[in-house]
Amino acid sequence: MTRRPKCEPMSQGIKTPCVKVCFVDPTAQLCVGCFRKMEELGRWTKYSDAERDTIMGQLEARREAYLASRTAAS
C-alpha cells in the first residue's frame, strides 16, 4: 500500500499593499491605489519578502509625492 504524502497547511499569503483600487495613472505610471510602479505590479509575486518589504517602505513617500504633484498641477 502506498502512502500519500502528508499535506502541509498552506503558508501565509504574499504580503501586499493592494487596497483593491486599481487605477494606473498613465503619466506617473503608478497605481494610485497602492502606489506601486507598473513593473512592481507585474513582478510582485516573483519578488522575495525582503524585496517586497523594501518597496512597501517606499510607498508612503510615493503617495505624498504623487499627491503633491497633483496639487501643484491644479
Contacts of 23 (CB under 8 A, 6+ apart): 31, 32, 33
Q: Which residues of 40-53 are buried (b: 16+ CB within 10 A; e: fewer)?
A: beeebeeeeeeebe
Specify if 69 maps to a domain: yes
Cβ atoms of residues 20 and 31 within 8 Å? no
- The reported pLDDT for the residue numbered 1 is 53
Specify if 13 maps to a domain: no
Domain that holds residue 30: 24-73
Specify if 51 maps to a domain: yes
pTM: 0.77
Specify if 66 maps to a domain: yes
pLDDT digits (tens, 9 = 90+) for 4-60: 555 444 457 899 999 998 899 999 999 999 999 999 999 999 999 999 999 999 999
- How many CB atoms are closer than 10 A to CB 39? 9
